[in-house]
């Protein structure tokens, strides 16, 4: 993959759900690293107030904000247990549901939970003026003061002291020292110092406002802030700090005699243990290739994570989702099982006006009864793998996916001069679904600036390329930039030597060469299935049905299945290329001109672009013979279940309707195709070849009527009957004409004036 694909303009997403380890934080940080199993247990009915950051380790803003949140945790660690800080990684697959329950729709989200909160709705958004430590501290204090009847038991009073309270203070409180901090009304110094000294015994801190004229006059205060230390023996001294500098007050008060940290707050020395992280094995990728694993992982994350964050999908958000899924159906060159899944999802979405989260999750679930329509269960990054889990991953995969869709739209659309539809769908997805809200705002700004000026499909390819490079320039060297794959201007010269030219000593882009390169690089023939596992485990269903699962070597079977699936894809691709040798030659010359070499053994099938999209019945003709009638399926069934062979109804096409999908046998498929006018000599020849192969290798005989073999030119029985009737009528007409002229000739011969030889 190109290095520049390491960042979505707005996204910087993780290497995949479930592969993050400790995310952006570790247990060694002075905060609570929460999870789905500990969040509610620690927050609800807690005597402490909690401030929790809900983040995603793929989010560029989250990566940039993480050091600030860690610094805040170190800065206010003495505020515990009155205020506790925590983090939860919503990108972790195990945490996704709990984040949805807490109403998290963007990252990072800071929520404040009062003491003794009982439900997710009790959390309130923590608004702050900026991402600096001072703004965050002040926001935490402001939220803490909103406690009324449920004031945290361990938190000292933060309201200003009055003259009456000061008069009887030492009688009511068993402490040696009382520090008074005189400050202006909107100052946070007194409250910050009060919380800083929370864990220390034998001292109390109270604030006095400038508006309290009685106390200001009694202590003769002329400048703000100012501090005075009162002792229980009646003495009073001025605190020698003249600046509004919190650490000076804190250090002075902590150094007083007999002021010590309470035993319950003394830190215990624990052995330094590095957090356990799961490091995925490194996969060596060729950046000249596009990997199907990255594309499918991006689709998986957008549907099962990004779109599933919302409790309800309705109105504009649902409309955008429908448009996004429909574009995947039209332009994504996926594996048959994935395309079946997307088509079925598209049909399910079309009549919907409101979709709940539970309905959406149910619709996305892989149904074991429908093995020919499914998505991968987990993400797998190959060309988009980063040096750390928080680098590259989903942003790179999403960039790759949208580049691919714009190119496929330009190649497959019959009206290339018409306005593009991929770019508006991409803009809508980012606006309504992308989790990193700061990144989404940046992308929306670029779209509002110039996307409306894109007039055709080729222009959409170039617009996305130029904005991608603009984002790479902006994010180069940022904390979210992977040092092993730095963001560069793409494509580099080693991938496309003709894309950059020198004009008057300046390096310039050649947009025509870039367009040729993109159409070659993101073509179907340059998509590879390396490292990917088969979605359909042939023979597994037969094995489960017959309760013969023990003793199988799963890893060996998966490798064999993957090998067979690759072989079938290559055979499909080769067969699809045969009638288009001229087009292949032109494509190869285009590859050479663009600086991209012809890939060896393309591993992705070429889906037919002429096949009509059926609303009720969808049949994948490219995979009709290879995937569902290939004798390898029967061989695999024999290997797994030696006593039970797969019947012809088990080797089925996928039929998708609005209500679901069903597998059906060859006779049913043939009957449907015949009634849909999908006959023809080519289809019959293909079925006859498959039939002969099945008879030769497995002894399976697929019976059909002999007369249909002879007359099998793609006509239905009704067509043949009509032909016979027309033939009979034409014969009778000719016979009548012959009889008429014969009688006419005899009549004329009988007349006297007729010349006789």
**What is the DSSP pairing of strand 177-183 with strand 226-231?**
antiparallel
Residues 6+ apart with CB under 8 A from 574: none
**Which residue pairs, CB below 8 angstroms and at least 24 apart, start in 412-417?**
412/330, 412/331, 412/609, 413/457, 416/456, 416/457, 416/458, 417/455, 417/456, 417/457
Q: C-alpha angle 45/47/48, rounded to 5°?
A: 110
Contact 207, 183 (CB under 8 A): yes
Q: What angle do CA 476, 290, 409 make, to 5 degrees?
A: 95
Active site residue ranges: 59, 62
89: tokens are 């990684």
Q: State the Cα–Cα distance between residues 226 and 212, nearest whole angstrom.
A: 14
Report the alpha-carbon distance of residue 531 to residue 292 in Å, rounded. Answer: 9
CB 246 within 8 A of CB 191: no
* Environment class of 687 (CB within 10 Å of its CB; exposed 0-12, middle 13-18, buried 19+): buried
What are the structure tokens assigned to 226, written together?
A: 């100012």
Q: Categorise residue 7: left if φ over 0, alpha if ψ from -120 to 50, beta otherwise.
A: beta
Cα–Cα distance for residue pair 35/426, rounded to 1 Å: 32
| C-alpha triplet 640, 642, 643: angle, nearest 5° | 130
Buried b (16+ CB within 10 A) or exposed e, 430-447: bbbbbbbbbbbebbbebb
Residue that is written with structure tokens 């794959």 in the block: 485
> In b/e form, how buried is each residue of 456-474, taking b as 16+ CB within 10 angstroms?
bbbbbbbbbbebbbebbee
Phi/psi for 678 (5° steps) reads: -100, 25
Which of 498, 476, 478 is CA-nearest to residue 489?
A: 476
DSSP secondary structure letters along 421-487: SHHHHHHHHHHHT-SBHHHHHHHHHHHHHHGGG--SHHHHHHHHHHHHHHHHHHHTTSTTS-TTS--
Task: Report the helix count and the strand count for the chain, using DSSP H and E.
Answer: 27, 19
Residue 535, C-beta contacts closer than 8 angstroms, at least 6 positions apart? 335, 337, 338, 374, 375, 376
Give the bridge partners for 231, in sequence order: 177
Give the DSSP per-residue string, 205-272: EEEEETT-HHHHHHTT--SSSEEEEEETTS-EEE-S--SS-HHHHHHHHHTSTT-EE-GGGPPP----
């Amino acid at each position: 993959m190109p290095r520049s694909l390491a960042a979505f303009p707005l996204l910087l997403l993780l290497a995949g759900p479930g592969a993050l380890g400790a995310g952006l934080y570790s247990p060694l940080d002075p905060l609570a690293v929460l999870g789905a199993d500990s969040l509610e247990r620690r927050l609800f009915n807690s005597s402490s107030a909690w401030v929790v950051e809900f983040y995603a380790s793929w989010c560029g803003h989250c990566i940039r904000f993480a050091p600030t949140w860690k610094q805040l945790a170190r800065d206010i660690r003495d505020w515990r247990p009155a205020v506790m800080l925590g983090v939860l990684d919503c990108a972790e697959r195990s945490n996704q549901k709990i984040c949805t329950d807490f109403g998290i729709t963007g990252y990072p989200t800071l929520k404040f939970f009062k003491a003794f909160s009982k439900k997710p709705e009790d959390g309130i958004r923590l608004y702050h003026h900026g991402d600096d430590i001072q703004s965050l501290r002040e926001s935490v204090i402001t939220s803490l003061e909103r406690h009324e009847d449920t004031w945290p038991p361990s938190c000292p009073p933060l309201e200003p002291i009055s003259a009456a309270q000061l008069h009887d203070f030492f009688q009511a409180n068993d402490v040696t020292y009382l520090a008074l901090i005189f400050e202006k009304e909107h100052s946070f110094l007194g409250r910050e110092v009060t919380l800083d000294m929370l864990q220390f015994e034998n001292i109390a801190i109270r604030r006095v406002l400038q508006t309290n004229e009685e106390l200001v006059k009694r202590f003769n205060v002329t400048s703000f802030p100012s501090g005075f230390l009162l002792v229980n023996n009646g003495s009073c001294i001025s605190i020698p700090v003249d600046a509004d500098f919190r650490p000076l007050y804190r250090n002075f008060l902590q150094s007083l005699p007999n002021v010590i940290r309470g035993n319950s707050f003394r830190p215990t020395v624990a052995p330094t243990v590095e957090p356990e992280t799961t490091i995925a094995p490194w996969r060596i990728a060729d950046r000249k290739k596009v990997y199907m694993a990255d594309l499918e992982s991006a689709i998986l994350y957008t549907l099962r994570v990004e779109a599933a964050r919302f409790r309800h999908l309705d109105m504009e958000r649902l409309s955008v989702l429908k448009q996004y899924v429909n574009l995947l159906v039209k332009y994504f060159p996926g594996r048959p099982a994935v395309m079946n899944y997307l088509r079925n999802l598209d049909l399910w979405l079309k009549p919907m006006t409101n979709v709940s989260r539970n309905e959406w999750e149910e619709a996305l679930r892989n149904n074991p009864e429908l093995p020919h329509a499914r998505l991968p269960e987990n993400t797998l990054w190959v060309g988009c793998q980063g040096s750390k889990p928080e680098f590259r991953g989903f942003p790179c995969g999403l960039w790759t996916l949208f580049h691919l869709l714009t190119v496929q739209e330009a190649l497959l659309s019959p009206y290339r001069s018409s306005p593009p539809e991929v770019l508006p769908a991409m803009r809508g997805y980012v606006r309504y679904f992308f989790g990193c809200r700061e990144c989404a705002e940046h992308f929306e700004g670029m779209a509002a600036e110039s996307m409306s000026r894109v007039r055709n499909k080729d222009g959409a390819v170039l617009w996305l390329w130029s904005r991608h490079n603009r984002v790479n320039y902006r994010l180069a060297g940022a904390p979210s930039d992977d040092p092993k794959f730095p963001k560069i201007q793409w494509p580099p010269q080693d991938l496309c030597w003709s894309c950059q030219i020198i004009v008057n000593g300046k390096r310039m882009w050649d947009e025509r060469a870039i367009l040729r390169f993109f159409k070659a690089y993101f073509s179907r023939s340059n998509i590879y299935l390396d490292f990917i596992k088969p979605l359909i485990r042939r023979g597994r269903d037969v094995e489960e049905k017959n309760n013969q699962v023990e003793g199988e070597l799963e890893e060996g079977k998966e490798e064999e299945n993957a090998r067979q699936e690759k072989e079938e894809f290559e055979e499909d691709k080769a067969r699809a290329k045969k009638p288009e040798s001229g087009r292949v030659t032109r494509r190869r010359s285009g590859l050479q001109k663009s600086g991209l070499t012809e890939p060896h053994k393309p591993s992705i099938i070429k889906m037919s672009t002429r096949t009509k999209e059926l609303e009720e019945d969808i049949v994948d003709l490219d995979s009709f013979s290879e995937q569902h009638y290939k004798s390898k399926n029967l061989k695999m069934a024999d290997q797994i279940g030696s006593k039970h062979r797969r019947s012809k109804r088990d080797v089925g096409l996928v039929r998708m309707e609005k209500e679901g999908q069903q597998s059906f046998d060859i006779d049913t498929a043939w009957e449907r195709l015949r009634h849909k006018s999908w006959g023809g000599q080519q289809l019959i020849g293909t079925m006859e070849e498959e039939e002969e192969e099945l008879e030769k290798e497995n002894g399976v005989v697929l019976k059909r009527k002999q007369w249909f073999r002879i007359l099998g030119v793609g006509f239905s029985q009704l067509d043949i009957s009509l032909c016979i009737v027309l033939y009979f009528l034409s014969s009778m007409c000719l016979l009548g004409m012959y009889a008429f002229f014969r009688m006419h000739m005899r009549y004329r011969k009988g007349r006297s004036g007729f010349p006789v030889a």
